[in-house]
Amino acid sequence: MKKYSLIVLLLSIGLACCVSTGGRKMPGSGKTPSLKDVFKGDFVIGVALNRTQIEERDSAAAVFIPRQFNAFTPENGMKAALLHPQWDTYNFAEADKIIAYGRKHRMQINGHTLIWHSQLPSFVLRIKDKDSLRRFFAEHISTIASRYDGQVYSWDVVNEALNEDGTLRRSVFREKLGEDYVVEAFRLAQLAAPNTRLYYNDYNIERPWKRAGALALIKKIQAAGVRIDGVGIQGHWHINNLPLEDIEQSILEFSSLGVKVMFTELDISVLPDPAHANGADISRNLAFNAALNPYTNGLPDSLQSRLAGSYEELFRLFLKHKDKIGRITFWGVNDRYSWLNNWPVRGRTNYPMLFDRQFDPKPAFYKVIAVKAGNAVRKQ
Ligand code: XIL
């Protein structure tokens, strides 16, 4: 790093740390360092955006988002249930707004997702014969991927195709199209979107068994002569179980296949999960009880600093392997907008992000920024 930019970085961090986070200021004001600027040249910093945010109907969020992030993934807006509600009916209105928002703010768009067993339109589950399903599959991928070719930077072509043991999940696609459907999805996407990067995305693929399945899947796509540019590790983690060694091993093993690694849906839950289930199976739904929602009046300091420490360790690892990583995306703008307030238990108060419910940076944010500053100082 050049001496001048190091001084600017340190000054902006120093200034930000002096500003009390308790004092009200405009979110996104110049006093808070910007993640996208701090990690410029390392990896792009993304965020999941919902419809209100994309339509810029929340003025605080509208200022805050483009200041902090230079990439985004529509949280739901490009899933099949929304985009393709019925045979021969596509609803492009929301997706077109997504593209316009990305262009306006010069943010990289990750299309999410072409083929996934969840959030499918109901007509797909009613399809009985293989040929009709194959028609849906091919038309869905070709229509959407070609319409947005080069406008979305990347597609999560296939999402969550694997079981925890690394075998292929039973889904309508696998049942009707056979084991090769993942390769076929990439083949169709490659034809329709020659100017868009193509990724496989899943949760828990940093864990050894599932990772082995993902590695085999990528090799199978490559062996068929089909393009795959990257792998997305979702990164829905829990504060009591952050698998740092597995994450590092995954970065090394995936990138040894010649694909970029992305962390695509990062968040760290701090709330009890009675089943101790890792991952992000969206069909999980546990009954609410007050014991599962202990921090409605704020996060205790001890947990706040553990969360900060977890993010610090993660970003230390990310920076160590920045040459292999393309993007880090947070699954929510701040604690208020995180899906973890409603999954796997509805109606809780979770604190998984770097920014609190008022868009103020949390201790975790400053730790993340300081990791970068520490790296810059060490390199002098
Ligand atoms: C989640 C969204 O955040 C929720 O709003 C929605 O109700 C369910 O889906 N893995 C994925 C994401 O790939 O699409 C999921 O997003 C979270 C798990």
Reported confidence tier of residue 374, pLDDT bands at 50, 70, 90: confident
**Is residue 50 lining ligand 1, measured as CB closer than 6 Å?**
no
Contacts of 172 (CB under 8 A, 6+ apart): 117, 120, 124, 125, 127, 133
Mean pLDDT of the chain: 93
Reported confidence tier of residue 278, pLDDT bands at 50, 70, 90: confident
**Is residue 19 lining ligand 1, measured as CB closer than 6 Å?**
no
Instruction: Tell me which residue has its CA closest to atom 8 in ligand 1.
Output: 282
Task: From 348, 349, 311, 355, select the one nearest 333 (Cα to Cα).
Answer: 355
Ligand 1 atom closest to the Cα of residue 116 is 13
Instruction: Tell me which residue has its CA closest to atom 12 in ligand 1.
Output: 75
What element of type H or E holds 371? Answer: helix 363-378
pLDDT digits (tens, 9 = 90+) for 71-81: 999 999 999 99
Catalytic residue, chosen from 75, 160, 184, 253, is 160
**Is residue 339 lining ligand 1, measured as CB closer than 6 Å?**
yes
Active site residue 265: yes
> Which residue did the predictor score with more confidence, 28 or 349?
349
**Is residue 76 lining ligand 1, measured as CB closer than 6 Å?**
yes
CA 282 to ligand 1 centroid distance, Å: 7
Ligand 1 atom closest to the Cα of residue 236 is 18
Active site residue 179: no
> Which residue did the predictor score with more confidence, 24 or 37?
37
The proportion of the chain whose per-residue pLDDT surpasses 90, expressed as a percent, equals 87
Task: Give the pLDDT of residue 31.
Answer: 82
Burial status of residue 285 (CB atoms within 10 A of its CB: 0-12, 13-18, 19 or more): exposed
**Is residue 75 lining ligand 1, measured as CB closer than 6 Å?**
yes
The predicted model gives 36-60 an average pLDDT of 98
Report the predicted TM-score, pTM, of the whole model to 2 decimal places: 0.93
The predicted model gives 290-300 an average pLDDT of 97
Q: Does the pLDDT at position 189 exceed 50?
A: yes
Reported confidence tier of residue 365, pLDDT bands at 50, 70, 90: very high
Q: Does the pLDDT at position 21 exceed 50?
A: no
Asked if residues 70 and 342 have their Cβ atoms less than 8 Å apart, the reply is no
Catalytic residue, chosen from 184, 206, 253, 265, is 265
The predicted model gives 220-227 an average pLDDT of 98
CA 76 to ligand 1 centroid distance, Å: 7
Q: Does the pLDDT at position 243 exceed 90?
A: yes
Task: Give the pLDDT of residue 23.
Answer: 39
**Is residue 280 lining ligand 1, measured as CB closer than 6 Å?**
yes
Task: Give the pLDDT of residue 276.
Answer: 78
The predicted model gives 174-183 an average pLDDT of 98
Reported confidence tier of residue 298, pLDDT bands at 50, 70, 90: very high
How many whole angstroms from its chain centre is CA 8? 29
Grouping H, G, I as helix, E, B as strand and the rest as coil, residue 286 is strand
Tokens for 20?
A: 């009390």
Reported confidence tier of residue 274, pLDDT bands at 50, 70, 90: confident
